[in-house]
């Protein structure tokens, strides 16, 4: 571990250094290797010559896998520094830093800062950590049509059953991957949904939940299934004619939103974060779940995630 090199590399990201530098120095001094910032900084400056060399192989599709891997730690830091810079002069910015300082909640804080900065740049004048009349606070609020929409961000971690399945079925890089059935995530997804709804019960404000699934196995389709019931297909065949027809059905295993305290819940946006070959942030695909908000409103709210954002 080259602490001097890592500290020098940190100087490339002045906003991170200003607000999280003390936390990082403590991590270095303790010898722990838990905090995600430690991992990013310990990798040091990417080998840009190697990256450019790989990028010249435009006919090789593996380039689009190799280059992001070579620079992903750098892109994570660039993105965080840029988003913190957007928010750092706003009231309550210190509160939103708390998750970033802890290794166990860093990615939750990363998503909160990222989403708040995206909405600040697109909608303007967001409020960080506003309090609701039910005495809860949420991550931020943004203006839309002369009203404010209140937002809670959630970054679920990978489920333990899924981790265990990955470990059990892992094979060496030179061996054929195993085929296996992932563990059922129905109850886990229900818990993720219901935990976020608690923030808004009794608040009587237009609200939105953002799910960043970059760190876990869940996807927006899992949430859709929890609202509508799990999709499955049935093929019926007429024994006399031999003709078959297809019907789509859903199992009755959904989360039913019929609580009057949640009538203001507008909708849900599910996304994953990635970086392209140029180091730009891309959020793809998006899953939009409208509850009180019609789909055209959800599409408008989702616009901050649509454009490609920044690069080194």
Query: Measured between alpha carbons, how far is 144 from 301 in angstroms, rounded to an integer?
Result: 9
How would you classify the pairing of strands 140-144 and 147-154? antiparallel
Query: Measured between alpha carbons, how far is 135 from 291 in angstroms, rounded to an integer?
Result: 23
Task: List Cβ neighbours of 58 (8 Å cut-off, separation of 6 or more).
Answer: none
Task: List Cβ neighbours of 294 (8 Å cut-off, separation of 6 or more).
Answer: none
Same domain for 256 and 143: yes
Same domain for 162 and 187: yes
**How far, CA to CA in Å, does 62 sit from each of 56, 272, 282?**
12, 21, 19
Query: Measured between alpha carbons, how far is 135 from 208 in angstroms, rounded to an integer?
Result: 17
CB 109 within 8 A of CB 98: yes
* Three-class secondary structure of residue 295 per DSSP: helix
Same domain for 212 and 63: no
Query: Residue 172 has what pLDDT?
Result: 67
Query: Residue 218 has what pLDDT?
Result: 87
Same domain for 145 and 214: yes
Query: Measured between alpha carbons, how far is 110 from 301 in angstroms, rounded to an integer?
Result: 20
| Backbone angles phi and psi of 205, in degrees to 5 | -130, 150
Same domain for 128 and 204: yes
Instruction: Examine residue 312 and state whether it is found in any structural domain, yes or no.
Output: no
* Nearest partner of 145 among 252, 279, 263, 300, judged by Cα: 300
Same domain for 101 and 134: yes
Where do we find the tokens 């779940």?
A: 289
Q: How many domains does the chain have?
A: 2
Q: What is the pLDDT along the chain (312 residues), one digit of tens a residue?
A: 566 676 788 889 999 999 998 888 877 777 777 889 988 988 889 989 988 888 887 667 777 788 888 899 999 999 999 999 999 999 999 988 999 999 889 999 999 999 999 999 999 889 999 999 988 999 999 998 888 999 999 999 887 877 777 777 776 656 777 776 777 788 888 888 888 888 888 888 999 999 999 988 888 888 888 888 888 888 888 888 888 888 888 888 888 776 666 788 899 999 999 998 889 999 978 999 998 899 999 999 999 999 877 766
Instruction: Examine residue 290 and state whether it is found in any structural domain, yes or no.
Output: yes
Work out the angle at residue 138's Cα, subtended by the Cα atoms of residues 146 and 86, and round it to the nearest 5 degrees. Answer: 75
Same domain for 270 and 187: yes
Instruction: Examine residue 311 and state whether it is found in any structural domain, yes or no.
Output: no
Strands (E), 27-118: none
Q: Which domain holds residue 19?
A: 1-89
Same domain for 84 and 25: yes
**Peptide linkage before 146 cis (omega within 30 of 0):** no
Same domain for 177 and 44: no
The last residue of one of the domains, among 59, 89, 119, is 89
Same domain for 256 and 127: yes
Query: Residue 229 has what pLDDT?
Result: 84
The last residue of one of the domains, among 43, 66, 89, is 89
* Nearest partner of 280 among 299, 304, 307, judged by Cα: 307
Q: Which two tokens stand for residue 140?
A: 């931020």
Categorise residue 240: left if φ over 0, alpha if ψ from -120 to 50, beta otherwise: alpha
Same domain for 100 and 175: yes
The last residue of one of the domains, among 65, 89, 113, is 89
Query: Measured between alpha carbons, how far is 83 from 118 in angstroms, rounded to an integer?
Result: 8
User: How much of the chain is helix, strand and coil, in % rounded to 5?
Assistant: 45, 20, 40
Same domain for 247 and 98: yes
């Amino acid at each position: 571990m080259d602490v001097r090199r890592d500290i020098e590399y940190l100087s490339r990201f002045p906003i991170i250094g200003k607000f999280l530098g003390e936390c990082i120095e403590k991590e270095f001094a303790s010898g722990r290797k838990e905090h995600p910032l430690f991992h990013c900084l310990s990798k040091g400056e990417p080998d840009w010559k190697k990256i450019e060399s790989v990028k010249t192989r435009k006919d090789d599709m593996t380039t689009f896998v190799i280059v992001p891997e070579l620079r992903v730690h750098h892109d994570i830091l660039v993105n965080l520094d840029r988003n913190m810079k957007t928010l750092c002069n706003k009231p309550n910015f210190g509160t939103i830093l708390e998750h970033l300082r802890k290794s166990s909640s860093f990615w939750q804080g990363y998503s909160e800062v990222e989403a708040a900065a995206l909405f600040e740049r697109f909608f303007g004048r967001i409020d960080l950590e506003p309090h609701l009349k039910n005495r809860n606070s949420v991550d931020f609020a943004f203006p839309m049509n002369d009203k404010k929409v209140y937002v809670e961000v959630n970054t679920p971690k990978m489920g333990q059953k899924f981790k265990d399945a990955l470990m059990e079925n892992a094979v060496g890089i030179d061996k054929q991957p195993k085929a296996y059935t992932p563990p059922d995530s129905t109850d886990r997804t229900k818990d993720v949904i219901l935990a976020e709804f608690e923030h808004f019960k009794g608040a009587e404000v237009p609200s939105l939940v953002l799910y960043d699934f970059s760190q876990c196995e869940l996807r927006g389709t899992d949430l859709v299934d929890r609202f509508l019931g799990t999709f499955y297909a049935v093929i019926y065949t007429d024994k006399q004619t031999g003709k078959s027809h297809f019907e789509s059905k859903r199992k009755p295993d959904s989360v039913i939103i019929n609580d009057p305290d949640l009538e203001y819940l507008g909708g849900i946006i599910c996304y994953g974060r990635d970086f392209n070959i140029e180091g730009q942030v891309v959020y793809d695909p998006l899953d939009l779940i409208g509850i009180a908000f019609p789909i055209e409103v959800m599409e408008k709210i989702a616009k901050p995630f649509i454009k490609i954002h920044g690069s080194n």
